[in-house]
Structure 1
Amino acid sequence: MTRIGIILGSTRPNRNSESVGRWVLEHTAGHDASFEIIDLREHALPFFDEPLPPMAGQYQNPHTRAWAELISSFDGFVVVTPEYNHAPSAVLKNALDYLYAEWNNKAVGFVSYGMLGGVRATEQLRLVAGELQMADVRAQVALSMVSDFENFSEFRPAARHEGDLQALLGQVVSWSRALAPLRQAGPVAATV
């Protein structure tokens, strides 16, 4: 069965990504795939500390090897990202930067939140996904801190977001399946 990881892109106290991630998970019924939350709080990844670039695939640290094993087990991802200063969080970017081949030929969709829906964070993550040879799907969910959160903290999404989320989930599952032959063929060589 196709496995999709829902990555929570914030580790700060009082974060909103946990409630948004649970909302995503609650709406996965009907999609022929298994979904699992990947909470970056549970993965102690210091700022990138490998001696070789991730493209080399020669991970030295136990935390990197554990992260690589986990990410390898998924076929695609939904990334729940906050927008901090017009960008994704540093902890999310760091988690992506740790690996290379483990991300290749996998689909990714974005559920973002921020004052303007987190769309600027998503745009930057689409560039990162391209470099990691991931297929980012067109559908996205952009949640406003003003209208989708009460007091900027209690998540109350507008009903209209459910249709966007269903489109995103459908695209991530479909693209993850379509990319399976490329994943089975192995990583594509990249130049450093």
Structure 2
Amino acid sequence: MSKLKIGVIISSTRPTRFGETPAKWILDKANERPEIDAEIVDLRDFDLPFFDEMASNAWMPSQNPNAVKWQNKISQFDGFIFVVAEYNRAITGALKNAIDQAYVNWNKKVFGAVGYGTVGAARAIENLRTIGVELQMVSTRSAVHIGGADFFAVHPLGQQNKPMSDIEASIGASAKDMLDQLVWWGQATKAAREDDAAAIAEAAE
């Protein structure tokens, strides 16, 4: 089977966001795996409107060209790693809006998460997993939670600005677990999607 294409999605668009730091870290970890070809997907690059279509693209094609550009990008991937900031116990509005701009493009794909904040974005990641169920996605059991002292060690708020490598003793095992599961479910869902496509093509002949 060919390599899994994995999108590492940065969920915050704030000018002062921290998300790029863990995103680059997990990107490198993912690309160390022979089964994965990962790239960063930055919501800033898509200038998405607030969802304003007549309906989800599950029911009719979207009209906004930026939404269509986003859907086409999401369709390129076999799975995703969401880099999750927690805003008031949930994912960011920017990420929720980006998720809502597509539907069929997420279906039957795997995702993992790297969360950061005082509790490692644990509540936001659970919020994301609930959304994933509606999108017919598969979540890895393990996630990476950068919280507590680890968070303040690497985040500018803690005034230490240590590199991510300094906290790998705390989060390295969970990153490996998440990536192991991402590969297993990614290969399984990719094979299933390919079987579905072959069956549809055969029925159309």
**TM-score between the two structures when normalised by the length of structure 2:** 0.85
Structure with bigger helix share is 2
Matched, 1:49 2:52: yes
Pairwise CA RMSD: 1.6
| CA drift at 1:89 | 0.4
Q: Which has the larger radius of gyration?
A: 2
Counterpart in the other structure of 2:81: 78
Counterpart in the other structure of 1:162: 172
Counterpart in the other structure of 1:172: 182
| CA drift at 1:72 | 0.4
Counterpart in the other structure of 1:35: 38
Is the 8 Å Cα contact of residues 31 and 170 (structure 1) preserved in structure 2?
no
| CA drift at 1:182 | 3.1
Is the 8 Å Cα contact of residues 149 and 156 (structure 1) preserved in structure 2?
no
How many angstroms apart in 2 are the aligned matches of 1:120 and 1:54? 28
Select 1:7's aligned residue among 2, 6, 9: 9
Spell out, residue by residue over 1:105-141, the C-alpha distance to the aligned partner (whole angstroms, 9 max, x if none).
1000011111111100001000000000000010111
How many angstroms apart in 2 are the aligned matches of 1:80 and 1:61? 26
Is the 8 Å Cα contact of residues 10 and 89 (structure 1) preserved in structure 2?
yes
Q: Unaligned stretches of 5+ in structure 2? A: 198-205
1:90-129 aligned within 5 A: 90-129=93-132
> Bigger relative contact order, structure 1 or 2, given CA contacts below 8 A and separation 6+?
1
How many angstroms apart in 2 are the aligned matches of 1:182 and 1:40? 28
Structure with bigger strand share is 1
- Distance change in 2, residues 1:19/1:117 (3 Å): same
Q: Percent identity?
A: 38
How many angstroms apart in 2 are the aligned matches of 1:110 and 1:178? 19
Counterpart in the other structure of 1:181: 191
How many angstroms apart in 1 are the aligned matches of 2:92 and 2:16? 15
One-letter code aligned to 1:23? W
Matched, 1:18 2:28: no
